[in-house]
Amino acid sequence: MEHKKISIEEMGTFCKRKGFVYPDSEIYGGIAGFYDFGHLGVEMKNNIKQSWWQTFVKQRDDVVGIDATIINHPQVWKASGHADGFTDVLVDCKKCGSRFRADHLIEDKLKIHTAGMSIEDMSKAIREKKLKCQKCGNDSLGEPKRFNLMFSTIVGPVEDSAAISYLRPETAQLMFTNFRLVQENARMKLPFGIAQIGKAFRNEISPRDFLFRMREFELMEIEYFVHPEKYDECPYADEILDFEMNVYSEEMQQHDKKFEKMTIKHALEKKIIKTKWHAYWMVQMHKWYTNLGVNPDHFRIRQHVKDELSHYALDTWDLEYEFPFGWKELQGFANRTDFDLKNHIEHSKSDLSLFDEEGKKKIIPHVICEPAQGVERAFLVFMFDAHYYDKKRENIVLKLHPKIAPVKLGVFPLVSNKDEVVAKAKEIHKKLLKDFTCTFDTSGSIGRRYARADETGVVACITIDFDTLNDDSVTIRDRDTTKQSRVKIDELHDVLNRIIHEDDKSIFK
């Protein structure tokens, strides 16, 4: 069975055909940058979020979660710097009125990296290389200008400027505005983190690449706070020193070198990664993916070059994945320092500092690392990495990890015209539904039903046949190998628990 490389457009078609993702309001022609999740997509997205929450919140004693609102006091976004600085550079066509993201236009046409490029240099590149409008083809592009990505809205019945607020462009700020309450109520001691999963909205100039760049998406973020004088006191450092990653530092990028595989120990010793905490969180997120079956060779960590850094960041790395359209950001890890807490203290006049018992003074904690990733980009990674084609079976096999697969089990009566067999299969299906996401399929040949299940990542299929009526046994078939095993109905639950919850497929050996 071979890993099948498909384009992002083919992925969009596949997701629509199988019931994972649909363009939003498609009956009216759709709306760019908005997508709806179908019956399989919603299950898979929930599985991704649950696994993340379980790993990074529930199973840790140093991280707690919150769930804040999407619309907030407008001062939040003034203090955070988003009202003034959360911009992309757009360029519009004076002839046809189309608008483009200047960096994307330059990257597409000139095949160069634009990370860190100033607005003046973009203007120069467009003029000197005589770039044309991508829509009408005319030499009519205007001057690049900044465009704020926040969606604004009116709160309440009076439409005046005081009523203008924004749909949050990130969940992070609400971890800062609630910082003191969470710290006090959950009695957290530094170092600790606050996590959140929720919707974010960005009025992207040119949403593209299916779920990769959307206008409404979901974020999974952690703000990890440390004592400002204890930047490098990471109690977990020893656990990660031997871990290997593909590393692409600022220096490597500046000298047009390739990324290198190295241990964390090496990266820290050579000061490529500056703090242990930063390294620690990148390893945790990398491991989260690989523990869920994604190939480690498809990842690298890339440091932001100086001019690319966000307005709040001292040092940022991205976990990148090799998508069919190139290495792209999957998740950011910014060192936000005390930028946000300080700004909220200044704007709100609230005390968000902590009292340091040891030093007997007030301190403002630093966010040493902010692991922040989009749920939909994670969704794409799992889908691309799991996409296999089996020549023998002549169908796609979506080899999703059992924790991520939207449907765990398929229950099939071998023959659909024998009432006793169908009734027995229904009885088994009903029982399994209590503990597993599980479909029931009677239509077409058994081979066709297996193929349909393979293509949507169903982990195991259970077939009920004539013998079941006599020996109280069923056949379980493994998606990845097609191996089969006969199991007593009494033992079915335990066996399936091992396959689905423990990824233990020894029954098929």
Residue nearest to ligand GAP (CB): 374
| Min separation Cβ 212 and ligand GAP, Å | 6
Cα-based angle 385, 211, 146 (whole degrees, multiple of 5): 130
Residue 131 or 172 with smaller CB distance to ligand GAP? 172
Q: How many CA atoms lie within 13 A of 348 on its CB side?
A: 21
| Min separation Cβ 302 and ligand GAP, Å | 12
CB 70 within 8 A of CB 167: yes
| Min separation Cβ 178 and ligand GAP, Å | 15
Residues 82 and 166: their CA atoms lie apart, in Å, by 10
CB burial of residue 328 (10 Å; 0-12, 13-18, 19+): middle
Residues 363 and 353: their CA atoms lie apart, in Å, by 6
Cα-based angle 260, 265, 270 (whole degrees, multiple of 5): 70
| Min separation Cβ 485 and ligand GAP, Å | 40
| Min separation Cβ 141 and ligand GAP, Å | 23
Q: SS3 for 93-158, per residue? A: ECCCCCEEEHHHHHHHHHCCCCCCCCHHHHHHHHHHCCCCCCCCCCCCECCCEEEECCCEEECCCC
| Min separation Cβ 209 and ligand GAP, Å | 9
Residue 190 or 381 with smaller CB distance to ligand GAP? 381
Residue 169 or 402 with smaller CB distance to ligand GAP? 169
CB 144 within 8 A of CB 104: no
Residues 79 and 345: their CA atoms lie apart, in Å, by 9
Residues 146 and 149: their CA atoms lie apart, in Å, by 10
CB 380 within 8 A of CB 210: yes
CB 303 within 8 A of CB 282: no
- With H, G, I as helix, E, B as strand and everything else as coil, classify residue 466: helix
| Min separation Cβ 399 and ligand GAP, Å | 23
| Min separation Cβ 487 and ligand GAP, Å | 41
Residue 321 or 436 with smaller CB distance to ligand GAP? 321
Residue 171 or 437 with smaller CB distance to ligand GAP? 171
Residue 197 or 411 with smaller CB distance to ligand GAP? 197
| Min separation Cβ 110 and ligand GAP, Å | 23
Residue 308 or 454 with smaller CB distance to ligand GAP? 308
| Min separation Cβ 329 and ligand GAP, Å | 5
Residue 202 or 424 with smaller CB distance to ligand GAP? 202
Q: Spell out the residues 6+ positions from residue 124 whose beta carbon is closer than 8 angstroms to its own.
A: none
| Min separation Cβ 240 and ligand GAP, Å | 21
- With H, G, I as helix, E, B as strand and everything else as coil, classify residue 305: coil
Residue 101 or 477 with smaller CB distance to ligand GAP? 101
Residue 90 or 438 with smaller CB distance to ligand GAP? 90
Residues 91 and 104: their CA atoms lie apart, in Å, by 10
| Min separation Cβ 26 and ligand GAP, Å | 19
User: Read out DSSP for 343-391?
Assistant: HHHHHH-----EEETTTTEEE--EEEEEEEEEHHHHHHHHHHHTEEEET
The dihedral region occupied by 116, where left means phi > 0, alpha psi between -120 and 50, and beta the remainder, is: left
Residue 206 or 484 with smaller CB distance to ligand GAP? 206
Residue 34 or 236 with smaller CB distance to ligand GAP? 34
Residues that bind ligand GAP (CB under 6 A): 170, 172, 202, 204, 213-214, 217, 219, 221, 329-332, 370, 372-374, 376-377
Taking residue 504's Cβ as centre, other Cβ atoms within 10 Å add up to 12
Q: Spell out the residues 6+ positions from residue 83 whose beta carbon is closer than 8 angstroms to its own.
A: 74, 77, 148, 150, 166
